[in-house]
Amino acid sequence: MVGHVEAAHEERQGLTGMERLSLRVSEMINHPIAQLQRWVTIARLDSDGDREWHEVLGILADTDELELSHNDDGSVTVRWEEPEKKGRPGVDEWEQDSQVETDPWASDSRSSPF
């Protein structure tokens, strides 16, 4: 386990400031809790450069699905709506995409082999 942590630390040191910040913001937005609540607050770290911070915020602001709120402490809260669900409620996508029109067992007069 220690080897994995050291390898991850070495890999992060090789990243540019923009890459590090983008990765951190992406991980925060994609975190399961953030996905459930559909918002996350991102705080600027001392290691985040001015240019990188403003560039990432610009990218987020230009994303139509996201709403940004600038907080008094300098952090930014990112909010988004739940994606629109397609299809009928209670029906999984794989069922909707299925090309099978009828139940293959229904047309067989024999009983199911199970």
In which domain, by residue range, is 28 found? 12-81
pTM across the whole model: 0.61
For residue 17, is it within any domain?
yes
pLDDT digits (tens, 9 = 90+) for 47-63: 999 999 999 999 999 99
For the chain, give me the number of helices (H) and strands (E)?
5, 3
- Residue 70 sits in a domain whose CATH number is 1.10.10
For residue 94, is it within any domain?
no
Reported as a pLDDT band with limits 50, 70 and 90, residue 114 is very low
pLDDT digits (tens, 9 = 90+) for 3-45: 555 555 555 568 899 999 999 999 999 999 999 999 999 999 9
Q: How many domains would you assign to the chain?
A: 1
For residue 98, is it within any domain?
no
